[in-house]
Structure 1
Amino acid sequence: MIEMKNVYKVYDNGVTALNGVSTTIKDGEFVYVVGPSGAGKSSFIKMMYREEISTKGQVSINHVDVSDMKLKEVPFLRRGIGVIFQDFKLLPTLTVYENVAFALEVIEEHPKKIRRRVMDVLDRVGLKHKARFIPAQLSGGEQQRVAIARAIVNSPKIVIADEPTGNLDPETSWEIMRIFEEINTSGTTVIMATHSKEIVNKIRRRVIAMENGKIVRDEHRGEYGYED
């Protein structure tokens, strides 16, 4: 479970990104985070994997206050959270297999388990046959699927995606969304910041809408509510 209690985030330049945010996201939920550019969506989700630290207020993951977490404890927090970015953030000189395996190598997993697990998740995202390709040999949609495979290879309880379909064509976006639905169906909590009106309105899930650093709407099976 993710809990935020009266969370503020004020950057050094004086910009207030979060202004008294409070919410609870239960295990197994699928949540869209929507709102205009500059609304605070990225800061909101970055709090969850401690990429950002609140200026004031409490952010808890499974009743552990991540705001007070020591730096050496952060990697252990992130082992249970998979993060997916709009620009993929793949290592360009590594193969598809190596990009995904890297997430297990850094936690010193056994080599036999790494191979088995990596091939399993590549099969799950439909890229087992391209394990030896490098990112430059893949389409944008394929690169995003590699990024998803890397995010879920540790079997995280939470997957956080920041505009995961933002650079993809509509057909590929729907393919990516099917993978996210499967991940969620398996019991993983999915939190997705998105500007896609079509996706939010078609695949109805909980919607948290943000404006000016505040949650202005929180609806079960909500709609996007903004123009593209």
Structure 2
Amino acid sequence: MIEMQDVWKTYPDGTQALRGVSIQVDRNDFLYVVGPSGAGKSTFMKLIYREERPTKGQIFVNGFNIEKLKQRKIPYFRRNIGVVFQDFRLLPKLTIYENISFAMEVIEANPKQMKKRTMEVLELVKLRDKANSLPGQLSGGEQQRVAIARAIVNNPSVIVADEPTGNLDPDTSWGIMKLLEEINFRGTTIIMATHNRDIVNNMRKRVIAIENGLIARDEVRGDYGYED
């Protein structure tokens, strides 16, 4: 499903974010990406959904060769990838329902199907009763649930989550993780960058550690491996 072959990423200022990364992520994997700040985790994530392009090497996602993807094809490619950010990135003047359904409007979904699917994901993230609320009226955990609902509303095969629990308290973080685990159980591949040691150590999913732009380890049921 996702394969990186000898991927390098060097930024214009000379910073080498990734150095010769090769990895394969299979369908329905749940993968934690860990490592020190500045190690290359965010770059690794951005390459998957083509926010960044590799300096060298090849990346294949859902059959697409990222490097050869034409600009006009990028929106179609991204329809099958949901992205969840640490800072939620909700549209403050739109209701929760509108924030989620907007992702379907972009792909010109049928209005009837759009309403049905939006209500389905609101039910999944347990926010059906907040459909008409604005983001500012919700707690941080609720806003992150909306962000997840928006990411999955188009039934993507892959969710890329960059520090989705980073701004949340421990109890709320566990609620978000249980939701992601359920989404994974339903067949979606999850790739999550995190600094949350407790979550990684307790959930025991596949873990890759990136250090100085290199994959330092890749463990099937790994632990966090760093001290707080």
Question: Structure 2: how far apart are the matches of 1:181 and 1:33?
Answer: 16
Matches within 5 A, 1:56-135: 56-135=56-135
Question: Structure 2: how far apart are the matches of 1:12 and 1:167?
Answer: 30
2:63 aligned partner, one-letter code? H
Measured after TM superposition, the shift of residue 150 of structure 1 is 0.0
Alignment correspondent of 1:55 = 55
Unaligned ranges ≥5, structure 2 = none
Describe the superposition over 1:121-172 as per-residue Cα deviations: whole angstroms up to 9, x where unpaired: 0000000000000000000000000000000000000001000000000000
> Could you say what secondary structure the match of 2:133 adopts?
coil
1:70 aligned partner, one-letter code? K
Alignment correspondent of 1:154 = 154
> Could you say what secondary structure the match of 2:45 adopts?
helix
Alignment correspondent of 1:208 = 208
Measured after TM superposition, the shift of residue 63 of structure 1 is 3.1
Alignment correspondent of 2:45 = 45
Alignment correspondent of 1:142 = 142
Measured after TM superposition, the shift of residue 67 of structure 1 is 1.4
Which range moves more in the overlay, 87-96 or 61-70? 61-70
1:58 aligned partner, one-letter code? Q
Question: Structure 2: how far apart are the matches of 1:221 and 1:95?
Answer: 39
Q: 2:216 matched to 1:224? A: no
Aligned length: 228
Q: Percent identity?
A: 61
Question: Structure 2: how far apart are the matches of 1:136 and 1:187?
Answer: 32
Measured after TM superposition, the shift of residue 64 of structure 1 is 2.0
Given the two structures, how large is their TM-score scaled by the length of structure 1? Answer: 0.99
Describe the superposition over 1:27-59 as per-residue Cα deviations: whole angstroms up to 9, x where unpaired: 000000000000000000111000000000001
Question: Structure 2: how far apart are the matches of 1:16 and 1:107?
Answer: 35
Which range moves more in the overlay, 108-117 or 57-66? 57-66
Question: Structure 2: how far apart are the matches of 1:156 and 1:62?
Answer: 11
The list of structure 1 runs, each at least 4 consecutive aligned residues, that deviate by more than 3 angstroms after superposition, is none
